[in-house]
Amino acid sequence: MIQLANPSERKRIRCAIYTRKSTEEGLDQDFNSLDAQRDACEAYVASQKSEGWTAMATRYDDGGFSGGTIERPALQQLLADIEAGKVDCVVVYKVDRLSRSLMDFAKLIATFEQHEVAFVSVTQRFDTTSSMGRLTLNVLLSFAQFEREIIGERIRDKLAAAKMKGKYVGGRPLLGYDVDHEHMRLVVNPEEAKLVQHVFERFVRLGSCLKVAQELNASGYRMKAWTSRKGRPMGGAEWNNVYVHHVLTNRRYLGETVHLGKNYPGEHEAIIDRQTWERAQTLLDTNRTYRASQTRRKTTAMLKGLVRCGHCGGAMHDTWTAGKGRLAKRYRYYVCNKGAKIGMDSCPVKSVPAGEIENAVFQHLRSVFRSPDVVARTVQAMQAQVEKEQDERRRERGALEKRLAELRKIIRNLVQVGGKTEGGALADELRRLNDEYAAAEGRLAGVDSQIAAGDELPGQDEVIGALRDIDPLWEDLFPAEQHRIARLLVEQVVMNPDGLTVRLRANGLRDLVAEVRAAAGAVEERMVEV
């Protein structure tokens, strides 16, 4: 409670009344649950009039918001007014009206204490300035959180039981079915069901998800379209190989439901017969096995993970093709992922021979080695980039320090409430907070290390000298070493229809200079020994 020195010095205590209801049911009535909570709180504040208490006219009402989160508009407005110094005391009807989460409640109490704001629950009166009051508060809140978790478990158990009985439990609308909301079940949509059957039939004939998607798009077919409860149009996207695969592997089309990897007979009617389903799955398994064996084949992809399509901005993956026969030559390519997914006609970049693009990158690096002007511009760009990264790291460092301070305060408050308890919700919360604190401390150490490394950038002359030393040796390096240096220096290669752009890695230049330094030092040591 807020304590005053004597009646003559008594000041006005501004009391903010906060109310909350989890659902919107009944809020349209003339006198609803929020009004009842406020009346009770106003009556309590009026009983403390002799102490200078007065109810603020501003209403902080959250109707239709769960107590499991603090992302509520009225609560956020209340916190903003507290930080602005407009509130001296927060009054609620019950503790769980403010929060049902132990961690969120600890944060709120810490905020109240920071701004010297008292907290009162009308039906559970206690003093938050005393350890016993805080203990009582957290015990009540622990039961509120326990109740919320029990409700969640009941809902999950109910959904699991419904799935095992083959019932429809909601989710995104499924192509081939409409939803009978009155009886909560799937009903076959005849036109869409024909499209689903067509997808299976074409896949069994063509053996390719991509070819099926291209056929569907060319024929004007689209994915299922519907309108959300808020009236927004949803779905209706073009087909691609991923969507086709989702249709081919959805067991609902067999008239089944799936829960935790197990299949159960569904209440809805099947669209695909068992024989067609099995043929499609056998073909999918065959394709999957073939692709896996192709992936395991060793290929030299120097720029793997570095090449991006200049048209769509997406990644380009490495692949290869070969003629017939065991000794046939293999040809390597970098292929646009999006183009491979929806068809190469959609991408002007399509695919590029791996050897050509890798040789172009090599030549670019050689020009960097040999040209002081290029090196100067590269070093300047490197310094600008590193400075930008350093600014981001310093901001992250500040945020981490702030979070660590918050965690220390929350942990201290919880320990004051419960002491060194070894069990229960409070102990679990303390363990979780301590784990978060340790992770934040580890991240802070890593950021400090990155900041220290970023402050040790090599100078322009040093970079020019290191690259000049490498250039004469380039042709004598093994391909693996050339690839290693290239990946060390190159951050990204953007492939456009009319050429490519190479962006160098700032840290790569620094690491390369460090390697040259170490190699020079080793040579000097050997010369001294001789």
Q: Would you give per-residue pLDDT tens digits along the chain (530 residues)?
A: 444 445 445 578 899 999 998 877 777 777 788 888 999 899 989 988 888 899 999 999 998 888 878 889 999 999 999 999 999 999 998 878 888 776 677 778 878 888 888 888 888 766 554 566 666 666 666 665 666 677 667 767 776 776 777 677 767 788 888 888 777 788 888 998 899 999 999 888 888 888 888 889 888 888 888 887 777 888 888 888 888 888 898 888 888 887 777 778 878 888 889 888 988 888 887 766 555 444 444 445 677 778 888 888 888 887 777 666 555 566 788 888 877 777 767 788 777 888 788 888 878 877 776 666 666 676 676 677 777 878 888 888 888 888 888 888 887 777 776 655 555 667 777 778 888 888 888 888 778 777 776 665 566 666 666 666 666 656 655 566 667 777 777 888 888 888 888 887 766 666 666 665 554 444 344 434 43
Q: Look up the pTM and report it.
A: 0.40
Torsion angle (degrees, nearest 10) of CA 233, 239, 240, 245: 100
Specify the residue for token string 């499924």.
174
The widest CA-to-CA distance across the chain, in whole angstroms, is: 103
Of the CA atoms within 13 Å of residue 318, those in its CB half-sphere come to 20
8 A C-beta contact, residue 87 and residue 56? yes
The β-bridge partners of 492 are 503
What was the pLDDT predicted at 521? 46
What is the architecture, at CATH level 2, of domain 177-296? Alpha-Beta Complex (3.90)
Q: Which residues contact 62 (CB under 8 A, 6 or more apart)?
A: 18, 19, 20, 21, 72, 73, 74, 75
Beta strands in 64-111, from DSSP E residues, in sequence order: 89-92
What was the pLDDT predicted at 298? 46
Tell me the C-alpha distance between 517 and 95, whole Å. Answer: 65
Active site residues: 22
What is the architecture, at CATH level 2, of domain 7-153? 3-Layer(aba) Sandwich (3.40)
Q: Which residues contact 424 (CB under 8 A, 6 or more apart)?
A: 142, 418
The yes-or-no answer to whether 7-153 and 177-296 have a common fold is: no
Phi, psi angle pair for 30, to nearest 5°: -60, -40
Tell me the C-alpha distance between 376 and 466, whole Å. Answer: 13
What was the pLDDT predicted at 364? 80
Segments making up each domain of the chain, as ranges: 7-153, 177-296, 299-530
8 A C-beta contact, residue 76 and residue 111? no
What was the pLDDT predicted at 79? 93
* CA 30 vs CA 39, 58, 118, 316: distances in Å: 14, 19, 31, 62
